[in-house]
Amino acid sequence: MHLCRYLVVLRKLRMCTSSIKDIDKNMESIFAIPPNDLHQRWLTTIYKIVTQPLKRMPFLFIIPLSLGISLAVYVLFGQLVVKFVSLLQYGF
Amino acid sequence: MDFERILTSIFASFIIMIRRIIYLIVSPYKTMRAISTDGDILQAGIILIGVVGYFFIANKFRPYEYHPALLSFITILHILGTMSFFAIFTALSDKKKHINICSFIMLFSYALIPTLVWFVVNSWLFVFIPPPRTLSLLGKGFSIIYMSFSVALLAWKMILVYLAIRYATSFQFFRIIYSLFIYLAIIIPYSLLLYSFGLFRIPFL
């Protein structure tokens, strides 16, 4: 009975230490490079606000943004966009 | 036995590469950080083989003025040049004695993925929906969709290049920006030179 309990505790400890090692490893990789500092607090804040959504699922922002940019370019330049696309299609 | 082991290793690297490409779409920041600590050069090799393969396949769709082997060779030189540029820039600006070349190779190879995707899609579109585009409703609609696809891939490319420089060099934001400006100041005239020789219309960078 005691041996069984001892083994369970040992297993838990081992699991705990391995997860601590994993956390340590992750923390090391995160802090291997110092966080970006733009020398002005407000600039750093803006940088963080802008980059935060791009860290995970950036295409949720990129796709609507690129569609908006394309529509805006089409509204501004009209038929030139069609010619530009033809030119790009020959570009490979 | 050894051949089997090499084959298994290549297959494993290929699977990891595919997985990472998917993760680069979902979570580029975390994935690029993981790539920067990886030392499996085979993945970079597979990406470069993909680039070479693209040139040979695209040559079937529309023959190039030069042999695709030459274009592939020049492209690989570009890529190596880009890696060397940032490695030398790091060595000069940080006075670092030890630079991890492996992380440069891995990160800049993965940063090529959006370019490769754009060129592959462009070449297939050339076959299925050949240019020039007309001013009809369908032509305009396709142009807008094509433009937004190109802008989206450009944005993805910019994110990956920024992260590649960030993790390979450990530079801060402003230093990344001005190193990129210096890089572009070299690359733009060089691209024009290649264009004037008829080698590339759009440089594979």
- What B61-70 contacts at long range (C-beta under 8 Å, 24+ apart), as own/partner pairs, is B61/B123, B61/B124, B61/B126, B61/B127, B62/A92, B62/B123, B62/B126, B65/B198, B65/B199, B66/B198, B66/B199
B131 chain-A contacts, CB cut-off 8 A: 85-86, 89-90
| pLDDT tens track for B36-78 | 998 889 999 999 999 999 999 999 998 888 999 999 999 999 9
In the block, residue with structure tokens 């110092």? A34
Hey, of B96, B119, B148, which one would you mutate to test binding to chain A, going by the most A CBs within 10 A of its CB? B148
Output the pLDDT for position A16.
53
Delimit the domains of chain A by residue range. 1-33, 36-92
Closest approach of chain B CAs to the CA of A21, in angstroms?
Answer: 17
Cβ atoms of residues B109 and B44 within 8 Å = yes
Extents of the domains making up chain B: 2-196
Ranges of residues in chain A with a pLDDT under 70 are: 1-19, 25-31
| Nearest in space to B76 (alpha carbons), one of B44, B123, B31, B37 | B44
- Measured from the Cβ of residue B195, the count of other Cβ atoms closer than 10 Å reads 13
In this prediction, residue B76 carries a pLDDT of 93
Query: Is the Cβ pair B144, A92 closer than 8 Å?
Result: no
Highest mean pLDDT out of B2-11, B128-137, B161-170 = B161-170
Asked if B144 lies within 8 A of A62 by C-beta distance, the reply is no
Q: Do B197 and B66 contact (CB within 8 A), yes or no?
A: no
What pLDDT score does B99 carry? 85
Measure the CA–CA gap between B154 and B152, rounded to whole angstroms: 5
- In total, the C-beta contacts within 8 angstroms joining chain A to chain B are 117
Round to whole Å and give the CA distance between B1 and B3.
5
Enclosing H/E stretch for B2? helix B2-26
Residue of B146, B178, B194, B204 to mutate when probing chain A, most A C-beta within 10 A: B146
Q: Give the pair of three-digit tokens for residue B32.
A: 């690029």
With contacts defined as CB-CB under 8 Å, which chain B residues touch A85?
A: 131, 133, 142-143, 146-147
Indicate if ipTM > 0.85.
no
What is the reported pTM? 0.88
Write down the mean pLDDT value for chain B.
Answer: 92
Nearest-Cα distance to chain B for A8, in Å, is: 34
- In sign, the C-alpha dihedral spanning B82, B85, B86, B88 is positive
Find the farthest-apart pair of alpha carbons in chain B and give their distance in angstroms, rounded.
61
Binning pLDDT at 50, 70 and 90, where does residue B31 land?
A: very high
The SS3 call for residue B134 is coil
Asked if B147's CB is within 8 angstroms of A54's CB, the reply is: no
pLDDT at position A4 is 59
Contact A57 B167 (CB under 8 A): no
